[in-house]
Structure 1
Amino acid sequence: MGKWFAVLLATASFAACSGDNGGEGGEGGAAAGTGAGTPTSSGVGAGTPTSSGVGAGTPTGSTGATPTGTTGAGTPTGSTGASPTGGGNCTGGVDIATASGNPFEGAELFVDPGYVAKVQSSIDKTTDAALVEQMKKVQKISTAFWLDRIAAVDGLAAHLDAALALQNQICKPVTSVIVVYDLPNRDCFAEASNGELRVENGGVERYRNEFIAPIKAILAAHPNQRIVAVIEPDSLPNLATNLGKKDCTPETEKAYREEVAHAISELNMPHVYQYIDAAHSGWLGWPDNQTKGAEIFSDVIKAAGNPAGVRGFATNVANYTQLSYSTESYDQQSNPCYGEFDYVDAMAAALADVGLGDKHFIIDTSRNGRGNIRADWGYWCNNIGAGMGERPKANPGGATRLDAFYWVKPPGDSDGTADKNAERYDLFCGYENADQRAPEAGHWFHEYFVECVKNANPPL
């Protein structure tokens, strides 16, 4: 994900966001427009992993993290052999119900063992003792498990088994977060994170039969644990702003609408809480874009049969937009939503206008700790100076119906390669604010991880 320029709809209205035009950092992705109030392009996203979940198939060191990301790593002792139906050390199993409907509330947030291993690879290269201690803290923070290709599904059952083992050890609900991210013609306005499936080559059938169907079966086999699913980053927002550009064709639009509807319908289960990707303030922050995006979301949810499992929407996935505005050096292009708090409030209002006023939100805070790191709002690729942001936390406040801050993008996974000769090179990975040491999207980027740790805000 993350290489999508959004062609934004010009507007002069500021009614969609708070009156102070607040929003810290405005870092979401509007490339400089041709004039105030007439943005002509908006970079969006920030390069989600394309090969995440390393080692996830054998999570021998599963770890848990509280909603503030403070619990330690370690293999759950006394919990081996726990079945997907419950058991373990807890008599009668663990009650995973939540009175509020918020899957992050009152839960331990599962730490991906694959991510722990990636961080460990950086620890092994680091001699600064203080920095090593900071990195060890990151190993205790929950990040999402990315299903970004068909092969990644092979590790999902073991990942959820490890989370269940932890739940049966601590006798408390454990929430796992996965990202469903393999649409046909994925990231249609991108170069660095295009997917494996093509509409013209049977991609729709493969998506349904080889990707969604096995995910459904695995989730259904784990009914006694909370599972959060972030659905197809950047897909529907591209339909709001990028149709007719690059690979955003009518065929792509049809696939996006129908397959997102298929996914949310098939994954509709009482223990699965779905959050559809809803871009960020620098993409759909303009009122016209909010309206168009909300209408698309409504159409797709209706086409899926209004599944109860759609809890809401995820914003700022793999991006850098700060929560509230301080100051930025680039042109805001008359966007009234500078930060994610403003954007969530505005999008909540737009959704209410189309009958979706009951939906909730999560904000990806994995790399939005620092502002003033981009010359242009549209820069999304491995931005130099980025820092980890607020830790995963339930009910943080600050915006309408905000369920949680969460680290959807695992910090340290590259947004895209800086190698201009690479097949998946994207121009944005060569711009002045992009770290030129970067490997392919999704590959571990040690040097960048180190900088994100050093720049963490709040500090680690």
Structure 2
Amino acid sequence: MATSVAVILAFAACSDDGGSEATAGAGGNTSGAGVGAGNPTSSGNVDPTTSGAGNPTSSGNVDPTTSSGNVDPTTSSGNVDPTTSSGNVDPTTSAASGGSTCSPAVDIAAPSGNPFANARLFVDPGYVTKVDSSIAKVTDAALKAKMEKVKEIQTAFWLDTIDAIKKLPAYLDAALKLQNELCEPVTALIVVYDLPNRDCHAKASNGELHLNENGTQRYQQEYIAPIKQILAAHSGQRIAAVIEPDSLPNIATNLGTENCDEATAQGYRDNVAYALKELNMPHVYQYIDAAHSGWLGWPDNQKKGAKIFAEVIKAAGSPANVRGFATNVANYTQLSYSTEKYEQQSNPCYGELDYVDAMASALSAEGLGDKHFIIDTSRNGVGNIRDDWGYWCNNIGAGMGQRPKANPGGATNLDAYVWVKPPGDSDGTADKNAKRFDAFCGYANADQRAPEAGVWFHEYFVECVKNANPPL
């Protein structure tokens, strides 16, 4: 357990001045960024029969009494068959090619290039179904009312397996149908997350593809190719995509440890570059995962990460639609701190706002000064809940944080607060006998009731609702 210390750098700038290099095992950046937290194998499940998917404003607030937020994907003019395993759609018949009665037609151009600005944020019907399952289990009226509010907040749609792709057309059709009803832009948020040798420094979230089992070919042909086709068929709507959580940051700090070998590192570079290149479309806004302040916050780690990001973007041909970077994905790091129970270990970045400023400077030094950021605030509402910065697995006492919001300010080129990790999806199992058990899920700070990564964790969802800050 880290000793409690006074935070003497709370108001210091997070910069290249001071601080020491933190490698794996130092400063909690060993598996960081929610390794294992971002594997919601069920989060991509969309119930196309579910209505009331939401009518969110950019802040996540909706008027549940209005009918405009009700989405019935089964009546979408471009309805595709979500049971097909390939996810293939015919762009000429997709909902993206028509069906709107809006006059004038909806202009999906993003103000200043920010896809979250001046748009409704589409609520995943599959997540609403999960929340409803928890509402059915509680009797406290006040708690139920808070849970109902969560159903109005956008969470990301995770493409964490090849099989999950078959749900993507119906999800995007539902978002487009809402856009056509409202006659205003609706932004959908997806996560591309199935690299070969995924999450090399963790066990809870290891993926289905492996480099030594034709993983690169499968990733490119069976995973990226159908996603590309589906996104291309939905060119009439804004789509924001978080690209491969926990991948490139592992190269920066964990290379040479456990399964993070040179072959895996090169596979990460090549395949992330491939994804960026293939998904380069004007209506798609890509944000590369950039870990969090407790992982790449140390100046040397910032420089390493920024250099790798720049190299991969260049290898992809510098796609115009790489909008920037996503931080704190599936993690708990607060936006800012005054005190914290764990040792900061000479890291000058105390929170995500500091980190975004610092990473912006590091990226600028690599010629990427035009990039923007989004911060995952889904579970970072409460501090002082873990004994070490690197503890990422179902931390007890966590609470939902700031609601999704465009242009919140507070840091350099900050596009939005978003909820990438759906609160309630487990980070990893606490069963020590399970194949995918990770030691981080057995620590005292981790909830020992937890199921496998991605499985709905009702009890944890309840706690995140109760501890929400700001309150629901």
What TM-score comes out, normalization by structure 2 length? 0.89
Deviation at 1:77, TM superposition (A): 7.3
1:153 equivalenced with 2:190 (yes/no): no
Residue 30 to residue 455, structure 1, CA distance change in 2 (3 Å): farther
2:249 is aligned, of 234, 237, 248, to 237
Alignment correspondent of 1:68: 59
Deviation at 1:65, TM superposition (A): 1.3
Aligned-partner SS, 1:341: helix
Deviates more, 1:234-243 or 1:49-58: 49-58
Task: Tell whether the 8 Å contact from 1:31 to 1:379 is kept in structure 2 after alignment.
Answer: no
Deviation at 1:251, TM superposition (A): 1.0
Aligned-partner SS, 2:199: coil
Distance 2:215 2:350 in 1: 37
Residue 415 to residue 72, structure 1, CA distance change in 2 (3 Å): farther
The 5 Å alignment of 1:166-177 reads 166-177=178-189
2:32 is aligned, of 29, 44, 57, to 44
Aligned-partner SS, 2:113: coil
1:447 is aligned, of 437, 441, 459, to 459
Aligned-partner SS, 1:208: helix
The 5 Å alignment of 1:302-313 reads 302-313=314-325
Deviation at 1:41, TM superposition (A): 5.4
1:58 equivalenced with 2:48 (yes/no): yes
Alignment correspondent of 1:410: 422
Deviation at 1:293, TM superposition (A): 0.3
Question: How many matched pairs?
Answer: 434
1:339 equivalenced with 2:351 (yes/no): yes
1:322 equivalenced with 2:334 (yes/no): yes
Instruction: Calculate the aligned-residue CA RMSD, in Å.
Output: 1.9
Aligned-partner SS, 2:154: coil
Alignment correspondent of 2:81: none
1:333-377 alpha-carbon deviations (Å, 9 max, x no partner) = 000001000000000000000000000000000000000000111
2:156 is aligned, of 132, 144, 162, to 144
Task: Tell whether the 8 Å contact from 2:331 to 2:380 is kept in structure 1 after alignment.
Answer: yes
The one-letter code of the counterpart of 1:181 is: Y
Deviation at 1:87, TM superposition (A): 2.8
Alignment correspondent of 2:236: 224
Distance 2:310 2:188 in 1: 26
Residue 41 to residue 350, structure 1, CA distance change in 2 (3 Å): closer
Aligned-partner SS, 2:242: strand
Distance 1:355 1:77 in 2: 45
Alignment correspondent of 1:81: 77
Alignment correspondent of 1:295: 307
Deviation at 1:31, TM superposition (A): 8.5
1:52-81 alpha-carbon deviations (Å, 9 max, x no partner) = 335316253232311111115652379742
2:221 is aligned, of 199, 209, 214, to 209
Deviation at 1:142, TM superposition (A): 0.2
1:358 equivalenced with 2:370 (yes/no): yes
Distance 2:28 2:96 in 1: 50
Task: Tell whether the 8 Å contact from 1:67 to 1:107 is kept in structure 2 after alignment.
Answer: yes
Aligned-partner SS, 2:132: helix
Task: Tell whether the 8 Å contact from 1:274 to 1:311 is kept in structure 2 after alignment.
Answer: yes
Task: Tell whether the 8 Å contact from 1:43 to 1:377 is kept in structure 2 after alignment.
Answer: no
Alignment correspondent of 1:7: none
1:256 equivalenced with 2:257 (yes/no): no
The one-letter code of the counterpart of 1:334 is: S
Residue 219 to residue 21, structure 1, CA distance change in 2 (3 Å): closer
Alignment correspondent of 1:197: 209
Task: Tell whether the 8 Å contact from 1:418 to 1:439 is kept in structure 2 after alignment.
Answer: yes
Distance 2:24 2:209 in 1: 29
Task: Tell whether the 8 Å contact from 1:369 to 1:456 is kept in structure 2 after alignment.
Answer: yes
The one-letter code of the counterpart of 2:211 is: V
Aligned-partner SS, 2:179: helix
Residue 419 to residue 143, structure 1, CA distance change in 2 (3 Å): same
Deviation at 1:329, TM superposition (A): 1.1
Runs of 4+ in 1 over 6 A off after TM superposition: 29-32
Distance 2:39 2:200 in 1: 16
Residue 327 to residue 19, structure 1, CA distance change in 2 (3 Å): closer
1:233-264 alpha-carbon deviations (Å, 9 max, x no partner) = 01000000001111111110111000000000
The 5 Å alignment of 1:386-401 reads 386-401=398-413
Residue 352 to residue 41, structure 1, CA distance change in 2 (3 Å): closer
1:165 equivalenced with 2:165 (yes/no): no
Aligned-partner SS, 2:55: strand
The one-letter code of the counterpart of 1:211 is: Y
Deviation at 1:45, TM superposition (A): 1.9
What TM-score comes out, normalization by structure 1 length? 0.91
Unaligned runs of 5+ in 1: 1-13, 23-28, 34-38
